[in-house]
Amino acid sequence: MNSSAVVIFSLFVATFLTGDRTKNNYRSIDNTSFKKGEVLKYKVHYGFINAATAEMTISPDIYDIHNRKCYKIEVIGRSVGMFDLFLRIRDTWGTYLDTASIITHKFYRKLAEGKYRKHEIVDFDHINKLARVRTFHNKKKQWRPEETFQIPENVQDLVSGYYYLRTIDFSGLKKGDLIKIDAFFDDELYDFTIRFIGREELKTKLGKIRSLVMAPVMPENSLFDGENSIQVWLSDDINKVPLKIKAEMFVGAVEIDITDFKKGN
């Protein structure tokens, strides 16, 4: 995982918070922030240099996964321009998100970054708290044996957790408040903490928008520069649309900015 694309899309972190419990062991989450058919478009750039485009889409159809109704959500990233000549990126990340409990039932990613390739499918069994992982062996052109991992309650993947974040009520948060995060990624469980920075008006291609600002608490590392080296902006309204991500790296600032928003129905 050494390409900038993985760093960028890993910023769409997954989150684990307590939800209401139901008799079938699934929580129930009230979601008014997003619906099927939603489309979000972004540009990824280093200063004035456009490096990639990204699109986050919710299918207009509802899918049945593990006997649960699910949204199908995909994040597609493509390198562009001169950047495409040096590192050609064609990535797809996807999740099947439970429409009622806002947890993932299946996660997949198919990465093509330069010569690097990875195809992975993760099935989540929330009743037995297991993640079953299959990866494709590119040289042998066959699937490797399935691996099984223990997972905590309501754990998310990188895509589904970001959408769950949009269902949280931020009205009671104060500057400096922390949100705890659990994520399953690359066969490992990760503990994250996000600090709520506050509210501000953000200038975007769609106009000036009131936004919520937060930053993952990062350990000391050789990639990101400073305490709030990664910042995320969500619209401060019912939709909580992801507007911007900025990562201050030692090699310079990488930014993801929204370019278009189509509301679902």
160 located within any domain? yes
76 located within any domain? yes
Look at residue 18 and tell me whether its pLDDT is greater than 90: no
pTM of the model: 0.85
240 located within any domain? yes
Look at residue 219 and tell me whether its pLDDT is greater than 90: no
Look at residue 9 and tell me whether its pLDDT is greater than 60: no
Look at residue 122 and tell me whether its pLDDT is greater than 50: yes
265 located within any domain? no
Buried b (16+ CB within 10 A) or exposed e, 164-180: bbbbbebeebeeeeebe
Q: What is the pLDDT of residue 35?
A: 96
25 located within any domain? yes
73 located within any domain? yes
DSSP annotation string for the chain: --SHHHHHHHTS-------B--TTS--B----S--TT-EEEEEEEETTEEEEEEEEEEEEEEEEETTEEEEEEEEEEEE-HHHHHHS-BEEEEEEEEETTT--EEEEEEEEEETTEEEEEEEEEETTTTEEEEEEEETTTTEEPPPEEEE--TT-B-HHHHHHHHTTS--TT--TT-EEEEEEEETTEEEEEEEEEEEEEEEEETTEEEEEEEEEE-PPS-SSB-STT-EEEEEESSSS--EEEEEEEETTEEEEEEEEEEE---
Q: How many domains does the chain have?
A: 1
- The range of the structural domain enclosing residue 214 comes to 4-260
Residue 6's pLDDT band, with cuts at 50, 70 and 90, is: very low
* pLDDT tens readout for residues 176-211: 998 876 789 888 887 777 889 999 999 999 999 999
237 located within any domain? yes
Among 38-52, 95-109, 246-260, which is the least confidently predicted range? 246-260
Q: What is the pLDDT of residue 181?
A: 67
